[in-house]
């Protein structure tokens, strides 16, 4: 019985990693769409929304089944609980990636106003945070996420800077309001993705140590 349970736990972990990498790929492609103003890439991200939703349902069902069948305790139970929460955060990152892609479709149709490179830099930072969180989960290595809060503070600072930059452009030229509103939304989605990565990192710390921490 224990051997079968361990095998199913490993399968659950493997599925979470696959989902995490799908979420990361959606985020990466949405950032690439911003960098290149590429509608084709954006549309591909939007189509993947269905895939991330199906993973969400599968992992949730599998985790609940393991609890019902095996009544796990200690670290095994923490692992399942943590994966359920991580599953939610990864799904949200996928949804925000879809939202970013929808906004870039609007931006790409307008060639009259400057692009904001700072949004791309912000996106790369968030993507790096997510990549390290996934590796930390796979390897159970907390050193990969020990400075996550500092990186998230940097993302927050960039978010506020981008808002100020967008407002400045809007004041200078009211015709640009709609255009830069999309950039403001994209930066907000990226800021929220950073918050979700921090929540994922908190759950990784909990499943490894049993201690609850608050990064945000």
| CATH number for position 133 | 1.20.58.220
Strand ranges for the chain from DSSP E: none
Number of folded domains in the chain?
1
Give the domain extent around 67: 2-209
Instruction: Quote the pLDDT of residue 215.
Output: 73
Whole-number Cα distances in Å, 29 to 11, 116, 174:
27, 17, 30
pLDDT-wise least confident of 57-71, 74-88, 99-113 = 99-113
Instruction: Say if 181 falls within a structural domain.
Output: yes
Whole-prediction pTM value?
A: 0.95
Residue with tokens 């095994």: 76
Instruction: Say if 216 falls within a structural domain.
Output: no
The answer to whether residues 102 and 46 touch, using CB atoms and an 8 Å cutoff, is yes
Q: How confident is the model at residue 165 (pLDDT cuts 50, 70, 90)?
A: very high
pLDDT at 1 over 80: no
Q: How confident is the model at residue 115 (pLDDT cuts 50, 70, 90)?
A: confident
Residue with tokens 């690439």: 32
* C-alpha–C-alpha distance, residues 210 and 176, integer Å: 50
Instruction: Quote the pLDDT of residue 158.
Output: 97
* C-alpha–C-alpha distance, residues 108 and 110, integer Å: 5
Instruction: Say if 215 falls within a structural domain.
Output: no
Instruction: Say if 74 falls within a structural domain.
Output: yes
Tokens at 214, concatenated: 């608050």
């Amino acid at each position: 019985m224990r051997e079968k349970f361990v095998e199913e736990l490993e399968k659950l972990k493997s599925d979470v990693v696959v989902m995490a990498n799908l979420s990361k790929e959606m985020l990466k492609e949405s950032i690439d769409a911003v960098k290149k103003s590429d509608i084709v890439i954006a549309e591909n991200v939007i189509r993947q929304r269905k895939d991330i939703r199906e993973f969400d349902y599968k992992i949730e069902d599998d985790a609940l089944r393991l609890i019902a069948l095996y009544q796990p305790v200690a670290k095994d139970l923490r692992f399942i609980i943590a994966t359920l929460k991580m599953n939610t955060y990864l799904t949200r990152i996928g949804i925000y990636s879809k939202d970013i892609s929808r906004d870039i479709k609007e931006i790409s149709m307008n060639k009259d106003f400057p692009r904001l490179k700072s949004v791309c830099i912000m996106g790369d930072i968030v993507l790096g945070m997510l990549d390290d969180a996934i590796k930390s989960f796979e390897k159970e290595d907390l050193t990969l996420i020990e400075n996550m809060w500092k990186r998230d503070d940097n993302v927050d600072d960039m978010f506020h800077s981008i808002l100020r930059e967008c407002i400045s452009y809007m004041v200078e030229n009211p015709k640009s309001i709609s255009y830069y509103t999309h950039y403001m939304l994209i930066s907000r989605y990226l800021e929220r993705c950073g918050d979700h990565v921090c929540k994922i990192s908190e759950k990784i710390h909990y499943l490894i140590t049993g201690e609850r921490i608050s990064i945000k």
